[in-house]
């Protein structure tokens, strides 16, 4: 089980000032606008050079808006082979819609409920029983998915790039995800162990509200308690750069999957699996998310990497996106091109939908 073990006996709790200094000196905690500020200059250059301000909406013609905004996760799931993604029930949450209880019962508990579109695990919840699911349904003013919970021990994000006209794409980075956890010392409660590290302190408010564990319990000596059911950086998951695991066998497996999506050239697949060897061979894995033009090369969030490395990786991947888009444009590919006004309307619709999704996190 990949777990970010955080908490050892004798470590001091983090006060406000120490937490502020930690966030200031660790760029992975900086706000997105600050992280991406240098990248904006590259975007300005590309837009001026190619005179196409919405080039990023044309990189994956097989997906609405190339996966940048307003794209249905269920629509993408339906393109994948049935065996590689979790069993899923789509819930159309209009005012007359009832939850399909019979289909949900067939999945069994626990399960995952998540918006049909969203970012950074917004609105994603682990559901343990029908009462919790009904509570989620009452608060959801958006279409959402109910999926079987894939409790395979490992999770990774695999970034895939393929140039138009080429049969084979490449993996440009792999992110290992180490789930948020504490290790017992036989004396401290789970809450006390969490408060001994900045990663735990930053997650405490959210975890306390979610009640994912009995935080007053004292774990046994060396007992590991996982506190997050899925790998998300915003929820304490430690990202590590596993790009050294790229090989021909794994690349072939990812190519087979991405070809099924259809006209998919750029994006990241988030995958749960049993072991790295089995995953490379195409065995014992499930795709929990397919991300398009809005994808991040999340391997750069490994704490060992500098901010300069991250900026170079962001620009490298966005350059791929620009090259793919321009090659498709040159070839006259069938792309639903949006002018800038239409893009702004799509973006505004996306923003309003995200505001509705935030209600289930409040």
Residue range 140-156: mean pLDDT, rounded = 89
Q: What is the pLDDT of residue 349?
A: 75
Select from 40, 71, 151 the least CA-distant residue to 336. Answer: 71
Conformational region of residue 70, where left means phi above 0, alpha means psi within -120 to 50, and beta covers everything else? left
Distance CA 227, CA 286 (A): 21
Distance CA 132, CA 134 (A): 5
Question: What pLDDT band is residue 162 in, cutting at 50, 70 and 90?
Answer: very high
Span 44-59, pLDDT tens digits: 999 888 888 888 888 9
Select from 75, 59, 14 the least CA-distant residue to 329. Answer: 59
- Note the CATH number of domain 29-177+239-360: 3.30.470
One-letter-per-residue 3-state SS of 79-140: CCCHHHCCCEEEECCCCCCCCCHHHHHHHCCCEEEEECCCCCCCCCEEECCHHHHHHHHHHC
pLDDT > 50? residue 151: yes
CA-to-CA separations, 156 to 125, 174, 182, 229, 312, in angstroms, rounded: 19, 7, 21, 14, 21
CA-to-CA separations, 201 to 163, 241, 293, 317, in angstroms, rounded: 43, 24, 32, 32
Span 295-348, pLDDT tens digits: 999 999 999 999 999 999 999 999 999 999 989 988 776 555 556 677 777 777
Question: What pLDDT band is residue 231 in, cutting at 50, 70 and 90?
Answer: low
How far the first Cα of the chain sits from its last, in Å, is 30
Distance CA 311, CA 300 (A): 9
**DSSP assignment letter at 359:** G
Break the chain into its structural domains and give their ranges. Answer: 29-177+239-360
Conformational region of residue 252, where left means phi above 0, alpha means psi within -120 to 50, and beta covers everything else? alpha
Question: What pLDDT band is residue 10 in, cutting at 50, 70 and 90?
Answer: very low
Cβ–Cβ < 8 Å for 117, 174: no
Q: Compute CA 171 distance to the chain's CA centroid, rounded to the nearest angstrom.
A: 17
Helix/strand/coil for 161? strand
Distance CA 45, CA 222 (A): 53
Span 27-43, pLDDT tens digits: 888 998 999 999 999 99
Q: What is the pLDDT of residue 196?
A: 81
What's the chain's average pLDDT?
Answer: 84
Residue range 254-280: mean pLDDT, rounded = 94
pLDDT > 80? residue 13: no
Cβ–Cβ < 8 Å for 62, 263: yes
Distance CA 78, CA 81 (A): 8
Q: What is the CA radius of gyration of the chain?
A: 21
Select from 206, 147, 142 the least CA-distant residue to 357. Answer: 142
Distance CA 60, CA 327 (A): 12
Q: What is the pLDDT of residue 160?
A: 97
Distance CA 246, CA 30 (A): 29
């Amino acid at each position: 089980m990949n777990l970010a073990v955080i908490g050892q006996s004798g470590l001091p709790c983090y006060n406000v000032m120490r937490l502020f200094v930690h966030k200031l000196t660790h760029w992975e905690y900086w706000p997105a606008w600050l992280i991406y500020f240098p990248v904006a200059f590259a975007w300005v250059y590309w837009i001026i050079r190619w005179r196409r301000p919405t080039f990023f909406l044309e990189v994956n013609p097989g997906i609405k808006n190339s996966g940048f905004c307003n794209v249905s996760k269920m629509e993408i799931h339906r393109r994948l082979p049935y065996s590689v993604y979790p069993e899923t029930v789509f819930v159309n949450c209009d005012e007359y819609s009832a939850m399909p209880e019979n289909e949900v019962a067939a999945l069994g508990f626990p399960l995952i409920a998540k918006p049909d579109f969203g970012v950074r695990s917004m609105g994603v919840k682990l559901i343990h029983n029908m009462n919790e699911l009904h509570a989620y349904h009452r608060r959801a003013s958006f279409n959402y998915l109910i999926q079987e919970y894939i409790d395979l021990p490992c999770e990774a994000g695999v970034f895939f790039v393929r140039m138009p006209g080429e049969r084979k794409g490449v993996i440009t980075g792999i992110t290992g995800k180490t789930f948020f956890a504490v290790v017992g010392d036989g004396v401290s409660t789970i809450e006390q162990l969490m408060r001994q590290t900045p990663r735990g302190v930053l997650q405490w408010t959210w975890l306390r509200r979610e009640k994912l564990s009995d935080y007053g319990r004292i774990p046994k000596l060396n007992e590991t308690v996982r506190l997050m059911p899925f790998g998300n950086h915003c929820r304490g998951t430690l990202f590590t750069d596993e790009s050294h695991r790229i090989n021909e066998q794994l690349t072939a497996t990812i190519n087979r999957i991405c070809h099924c999506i259809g006209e998919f050239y750029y994006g990241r697949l988030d995958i749960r699996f049993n072991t790295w060897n089995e995953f490379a061979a195409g065995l014992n894995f499930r795709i929990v998310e397919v991300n398009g033009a809005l994808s991040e090369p999340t391997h750069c969030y490994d704490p060992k990497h500098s901010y300069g490395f991250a900026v170079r990786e962001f620009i490298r991947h966005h350059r791929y996106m620009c090259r793919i888009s321009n090659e498709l444009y040159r070839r006259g590919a069938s792309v639903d091109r949006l002018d800038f006004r239409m893009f702004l309307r799509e973006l505004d619709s996306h923003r309003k939908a995200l505001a509705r999704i935030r209600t289930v996190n409040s």
